[in-house]
Amino acid sequence: MSSKERPGEDSLIARFFAPIAGEGALGLKDDAARLSPTPGHDLVLTVDALVERVHFLPEDSPGSIARKALGVNVSDLAAKGAEPAGFLLSLALPEDWTENWLAEFASGLGEAARDFSCPLLGGDTVKTKGPLTLSVTAVGEVPTGRMVLRTTSRIGDIVCVTGTIGDAALGLKLRSAPAWSESLSSAEKAHLADRYLHPRPRHRLAAALRDHASAAMDVSDGLAGDLAKMMRASGVSALIEAGQVPLSAAAAKAAQASPDLLDLALTGGDDYEILCIVPEKNLDSFRKEADKVGITLSVIGRVVSGHDLPVFRMNGLERRYDVGSYQHF
């Protein structure tokens, strides 16, 4: 289809995005969206950009790309203890976009918005001669003064992490069909691949984090690097038992087949789990609240004094990951 036959921006928005938009979007027909904040709440705002071949791959389905773009932002909100309120999308489309692609993208985005309770409020669609580029700004709410920060980890507190670590990095690695992948069943491979494609933001943990955690961040650039970042921001360090870092059955099997994959699990990106620091006295109650929303918590270590990189204890050895964090830059 030639570009002349394509719908203009207004008709594209009306056809694909208006049907999935929330109330505050005003039908995506105005210059801006409206959001009435809940009285007694602070807003939490975050933005993440995704570029084709950097943050996702051209062969990923449009619905997966949409879900990831929203999911990584909702994950940031969750880590701050914020309930999602809505998001804005900026979409730079390469010239070879098709209506089918856009229809599937919008449908996946609408589904993710429902799953994450985070309605579409507004957006902008432009063309680019470069790769597909998306930017999502998500807005959340926390009761005033209750945002969970990175800078407030306290010495002696427990280091916890949700879910399992390393699946996404292994899922991405799987695409090049490495030797170790032969030791995995199809279901295990599918699990890892899915974790790379489809972040599962832990927004249902937001309230429990506010009530129990002293500090938190989401794990997006690798556990080791993100932990180092949070400890540095808090002026402390941490001692981690690597054997306590939760691995899925698939990841554990992969690490057995090829032991260096444990390093990949600890340093790879795209987990979108929550790394949180919890005073010991809150641990039981936090675990109960997490159970209620179906989220598994693992204790992996403790905050200690010092300014060095966190230590990972592993088979009697101590290890520091000094380039642990994968930066998309």
Least separation in angstroms between CB 8 and a second copy = 5
Which of 89, 263, 241, 98 shows the shortest CA–CA distance to 170? Answer: 263
Report the C-alpha gap between 164 and 296 in whole angstroms.
8
Decide whether 64 or 137 has the Cβ nearer to a second copy: 137
Residues of the shown chain interacting with a second copy in the complex, contacts defined by CB under 8 A: 8-10, 12, 26, 29-37, 39, 41-51, 53-55, 76-77, 79-80, 82, 86, 88-92, 121-131, 133, 135, 137, 139-140, 144, 147, 149-151, 217-218, 229, 233, 327-329
Sign of CA dihedral 58, 120, 165, 237: positive
Decide whether 30 or 280 has the Cβ nearer to a second copy: 30
Decide whether 86 or 108 has the Cβ nearer to a second copy: 86
**Contact assessment for residue 133 and residue 92, using Cβ atoms and an 8 Å cutoff:** yes
Residue 101: CB atoms within 10 A of its CB come to 15
Q: How many CA atoms lie within 13 A of 243 on its CB side?
A: 6
Looking at the DSSP bridge assignments, the partners of residue 90 are: 124, 135
Which residues neighbour 317 within 8 Å (Cβ) at sequence distance 6 or greater?
none
Which residue's structure tokens are 């249902």? 204
φ, ψ for residue 244, nearest 5 deg: -90, -10
155 by DSSP, 3-state: which? coil
Least separation in angstroms between CB 167 and a second copy = 21
Decide whether 40 or 294 has the Cβ nearer to a second copy: 40
Decide whether 150 or 189 has the Cβ nearer to a second copy: 150
Decide whether 97 or 180 has the Cβ nearer to a second copy: 97
Which residue's structure tokens are 């004094």? 305
Least separation in angstroms between CB 64 and a second copy = 19
Distances in Å between the Cα of 208 and the Cα atoms of 43, 110, 292 are 18, 27, 10
Exposure string (b/e) for 289-312, b if CB count within 10 Å is 16 or more? Answer: bbeeeebebbbbbbbbeeeebbbb
Which residue's structure tokens are 């032991």? 259
Decide whether 129 or 260 has the Cβ nearer to a second copy: 129
Least separation in angstroms between CB 131 and a second copy = 5
Least separation in angstroms between CB 250 and a second copy = 27
122 by DSSP, 3-state: which? strand
Which H/E stretch holds residue 273? strand 273-278
Decide whether 75 or 237 has the Cβ nearer to a second copy: 75
Which of 266, 279, 248, 252 shows the shortest CA–CA distance to 159? Answer: 279
Least separation in angstroms between CB 155 and a second copy = 19
Decide whether 150 or 173 has the Cβ nearer to a second copy: 150
Nearest 10 degrees: CA dihedral of 55, 61, 65, 66? 170
Least separation in angstroms between CB 105 and a second copy = 16
Least separation in angstroms between CB 187 and a second copy = 33
Least separation in angstroms between CB 178 and a second copy = 26
